[in-house]
Structure 1
Amino acid sequence: MLDSEAQGRRASEGRRLEDVVSMILNELLNSHNIFIVRGNSDGLRTIIHDQNLVNEIIDYNRLPVKRPCDQKQLMDYPDSDLFILVNSKNTWRLLGIINCKVSFHSRHTMVTFWGLAVRISSNIKYVLVTEDKDQYHPEHPRSELGRSCSDSTSTRRLLESFVDRIYIIKPYNLNDQELQQSITSFKHTNFNQKENQYYFDNPNHPHHTKYCLSVRPFDDLIFDLLRWKNDLL
């Protein structure tokens, strides 16, 4: 019973983070024809009204899995919390997948497996957004990514190797005033990136890991998506 309750809490926390991430990105990037939806058929249908196209996108993301017990090949679906889609001249293209993890607790191996599988089978991006929530633990705060790139954990080293980038975001709830303030403040920058000025993460938190080439603030995901969109088109 306790295990099922814990799993329920983790699932609820995961959905909260997915909702926060999609809300921020959609509010800031829909005007640039970039859309974030849940990575399933229901999510795709919220913006794509052609069921055949929805099925094509779903099928495109299925990966072959060979079973030695019966020597059959199945088409399995990766760990796809959020899809990043681009609309250009009424044509939809899948730009990437966002995996959302509030914290890891040894579940990073699932992220690295699917990250590797997606990257070697397609040209779409596979990125991770995390709160790295153990850094806010009231009794034993620590980053699951380690202090820095040079003083890292095995979790960080694996993630750096098998996903395109890791983005850290502050803990938000959808109705938080702080979340709206962060979005408004970012909008006022007119998307001009200012060095060491971040709105959606707090690198000054005492137990926050240091950024590096692969571990970045959530703000950078916004600029990366705009850049990757231009590369795609």
Structure 2
Amino acid sequence: MKELSSVDDAVRERQSRVSRSGGRWEEYVRLYLNEALEETGIEVISGRSENEIRKRSEILWKMLSLPLKVSTIRESVWGDIDLVAVKGELPVVIISCKVSLHGRLTETLFWSLLYRTLTRIKVVLATPDGGRGGEEWVSEWGTPENPTKDRLLAESYLDGVYVENVEEWCKNIKPGQGTAFGGIVRPLDELPKDIKRWAEEAERFIYIRRNGSLQSFL
């Protein structure tokens, strides 16, 4: 009975989160992670507005800005940041949120490659696995034994793919169907634990000098 009650509670929490998110997957993920990370000192915020991040913290803005080597107009560019988990002024992980891929994973992979090359910031993808379209739901990720190209690319260029098959965003999914987990593709409820671990690792490496130098992190 306790197990059934726990399942019912999880379903109600999910439904409430869907309602509060206004039908936006990115907001659903943000709400979930902030609930799961409560009292850890870690906050998940929107990273879409460069100006808002800069208002929040000049140091955080510098850490998330990507340097331009040959431009005479600008010194840096702002990446494609849906959400970012931060602890104080320290960016821990960038979370790209996509309902479905439909050829758009390459954009996430491009920015991930830059951030992973130039910084210590992790980059992950959060998705409900909206399926490949059509009358029947079919996972976009294949299986660990028979992976799709996207799964293979994610294994090489992302720090994780986190999935929760929420019916709101998984058209035509049937009971018993779901994404095949394994390797890089994991349940969304494992992301909070990973964020906490990455935050601890980042704090061991980071050293911000009084003048705001970021060389030890970037």
> What TM-score do the two structures reach when normalised by structure 2?
0.71
1:29 and 2:37 matched: yes
Q: Secondary structure at the match of 1:63?
A: strand
Q: Identify which of 148, 160, 173 aligns with 1:153.
A: 148
Residues 112-133 of structure 1: CA deviation (Å, up to 9, x unaligned): 1111110011111111101111
Q: What is residue 119 of structure 1 aligned with on the other side?
A: 116
Q: Secondary structure at the match of 1:60?
A: helix
1:230: how far off?
Answer: 2.1
Deviates more, 1:57-66 or 1:21-30: 57-66
Q: What is residue 56 of structure 1 aligned with on the other side?
A: 59
Q: Distance in 1 between matches of 2:62 and 2:98?
A: 24
1:63-78 aligned within 5 A: 63-65=66-68, 75-78=76-79
Q: Distance in 1 between matches of 2:164 and 2:99?
A: 9
Q: Distance in 2 between matches of 1:14 and 1:161?
A: 33
Q: Secondary structure at the match of 2:81?
A: coil
CA contact (8 A) 2:83 2:95 kept: yes
> What TM-score do the two structures reach when normalised by structure 1?
0.67
1:142 and 2:138 matched: yes
1:34: how far off?
Answer: 0.8
1:163: how far off?
Answer: 0.8
Q: Distance in 2 between matches of 1:71 and 1:155?
A: 36
CA contact (8 A) 2:165 2:179 kept: no
CA contact (8 A) 2:68 2:77 kept: yes
CA contact (8 A) 2:80 2:111 kept: yes
Q: Distance in 2 between matches of 1:61 and 1:227?
A: 20
1:98: how far off?
Answer: 0.5
Equivalent pairs: percent with the same residue? 32
1:15: how far off?
Answer: 7.8
Q: Distance in 1 between matches of 2:180 and 2:118?
A: 31
Q: Secondary structure at the match of 1:104?
A: coil
Q: What is residue 85 of structure 1 aligned with on the other side?
A: 86
Q: Distance in 2 between matches of 1:72 and 1:152?
A: 43
1:229: how far off?
Answer: 2.0
Q: 1:65 to 1:144 in 2, by over 3 A?
A: farther
Q: Secondary structure at the match of 2:43?
A: strand
Q: 1:205 to 1:65 in 2, by over 3 A?
A: farther
Q: Distance in 1 between matches of 2:176 and 2:61?
A: 39
Q: Which amino acid aligns with 2:184?
A: S
Q: Distance in 2 between matches of 1:30 and 1:85?
A: 13
Q: How many residues align?
A: 177
1:111: how far off?
Answer: 0.7
CA contact (8 A) 1:20 1:172 kept: no
1:58: how far off?
Answer: 1.9
In structure 1, stretches of 5+ residues that fail to align are 1-12, 46-50, 174-201
1:220 and 2:216 matched: no
